[in-house]
Amino acid sequence: MTETADISARLRDGLRRLAKAVVVVTTQHRSQRYAMAATAVSELSMDPPSLLICVNRTAGLHAPLATGAGFCLNILHSSQAAIAAACSGGLTGEQRFEHGAWANRNGLPCLEGAQANFLCRNERSIDHGTHTIFIGLVEEVLTSGRPDPLVYVDGRYTGVQE
């Protein structure tokens, strides 16, 4: 195994120990909706309010984002594991929206009952390796219920134990 391949394998193993909230990233482009489950999402700045997402260039969501389409980050509730599963593989296109209640808000698919929804204007992108980092300026934030996010750790979905 080459040194880079070894480090990549060890990185993957190490990141399985990093618990992250599960987010479904959505967009709409030319009347087609797209959704993808992701954990490579992070806050970036409070001034200006901005978030970033990392999207593999092979993902269906990548093409519309690369054209500058806005996006919504939907932080899932612990009860929404089926939505995460629908948006992380197996199902494609509109099939992903058959799970959960989806509203159109400012031209973007927005998951009702999510812990939080961040509607973003696609501001900038940076290519790196197999992925593109998309920086979104947050234009609207919605929250629902008390914090109880769906978490992904060690290859499985779980909730936060209090």
Domain contains 120: yes
Q: Write out pLDDT tens, residues 44-64.
A: 999 999 999 999 999 999 999
Domain region containing 103: 20-158
- 77: CATH: 2.30.110.10
Angle at 55 between CA 86 and CA 38, to 5 degrees: 40
Task: Find out whether 3 and 54 touch, Cβ atoms under 8 Å.
Answer: no
Name, in order, each residue with C-beta under 8 angstroms of 141's C-beta and a sequence gap of 6 or more.
Answer: 116, 117, 118, 119
Domain contains 25: yes
Instruction: Name the domain count of the chain.
Output: 1
Q: Write out pLDDT tens, residues 90-127.
A: 789 999 999 999 999 999 999 999 999 999 999 999 99
Q: Residue 66: which pLDDT band, with cuts at 50, 70 and 90?
A: very high
Domain contains 71: yes
Domain contains 97: yes
